[in-house]
Amino acid sequence: QVQLVESGGGLVQAGGSLRLSCAASGRTFSSYPMGWFRQAPGKEREFVAAISWMGRSTRYADVVKGRFTISRDNAKNTVYLQMNSLKPEDTAVYYCAAGRPYNDLLLTTRSADYWGQGTQVTVSS
């Protein structure tokens, strides 16, 4: 069982930056592929970024590539999402998710076994 708690969301102007954190419980965090997803009002939850369980591989949605960076610190049981050059269309609730241990990159919502409660990111124009 893994519990995930996101933090770091807030209100920021367009062009600004935020860093989201996702703290995980459990002693086997390093075995889980992790991902960030987001859901805007009236839209489906969508993939944002993923990182492999060893942290050697990452993948990004095209709309955030070059602006967002996912990373993890297995010693701290934490995964991060650094978001730069934010745009109003990045406004959404951002969710951290964990896939099955030792699986491939977490790229779809149906592949996630655990979810955090979400953190709101609002980007004003």
Chunk the chain into consecutive blocks of 10 residues (it has 125) and report each block's average pLDDT, rounded to whole numbers.
95 98 91 97 97 96 98 96 98 97 94 97 97
Q: Hey, which bits of the chain come out as E strands?
A: 4-7, 10-13, 18-24, 34-39, 46-51, 58-60, 68-73, 78-83, 92-98, 114-115, 119-124
User: Residue 75: how many CB atoms within 10 A of its CB?
Assistant: 8
Cα dihedral sign, 106-108-110-114: positive
pLDDT of res. 1 = 83
Beta carbons of 119 and 8 less than 8 angstroms apart? yes
pLDDT of res. 87 = 98
pLDDT of res. 61 = 98
